[in-house]
């Protein structure tokens, strides 16, 4: 989750966007207290606080994932990128 209050989170997000411009989702899941509360309650945040910012972000991410071809195509892309990264590290 993204913590917009810390410069480290903002710097990491900027680096990821720069390195993987076509692979990074537009949706950002920002940390909220509702995530912690829903974890303690043992309920998904989308059920615990369905109108919260976090729930809305997860629904937006799901729509974005579907629009990109679903989880399988995204998982394949992630695996390909990880393999490319490992190749770079081995050089």
The model's pTM: 0.67
The pLDDT of residue 87: 75
**Of 40, 34, 28, 39, nearest in space to 4 by CA:** 28
Instruction: Please check whether residue 88 is in contact with residue 81, taking contact to mean a CB–CB distance below 8 angstroms.
Output: no
The pLDDT of residue 37: 94
Instruction: Please check whether residue 32 is in contact with residue 44, taking contact to mean a CB–CB distance below 8 angstroms.
Output: no
Please give the structure tokens belonging to residue 10: 């903002």
Instruction: Please check whether residue 49 is in contact with residue 37, taking contact to mean a CB–CB distance below 8 angstroms.
Output: yes
The pLDDT of residue 68: 84
Place of tokens 């490319």: 84
Q: Stretch 13-37: mean pLDDT, rounded?
A: 90
Instruction: Please check whether residue 58 is in contact with residue 76, taking contact to mean a CB–CB distance below 8 angstroms.
Output: no
pLDDT(91) > 80? no
The pLDDT of residue 74: 62
DSSP H stretches of helix in 1-91: 7-19, 33-41, 45-48, 53-67, 70-90
pLDDT(31) > 90? no
Place of tokens 């945040």: 45
Residue 15 banded pLDDT, cuts 50, 70, 90: very high
């Amino acid at each position: 989750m993204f913590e917009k209050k810390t410069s480290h989170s903002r710097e990491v997000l900027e680096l990821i966007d720069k390195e993987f411009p076509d692979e990074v989702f537009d949706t950002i899941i920002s940390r909220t207290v509702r995530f912690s509360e829903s974890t303690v309650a043992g309920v998904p945040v989308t059920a615990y606080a369905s109108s919260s910012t976090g729930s809305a972000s997860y629904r937006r991410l799901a729509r974005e994932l579907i629009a990109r071809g679903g989880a399988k195509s995204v998982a394949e892309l992630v695996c390909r990128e990880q393999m490319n990264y490992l190749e770079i590290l081995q050089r």
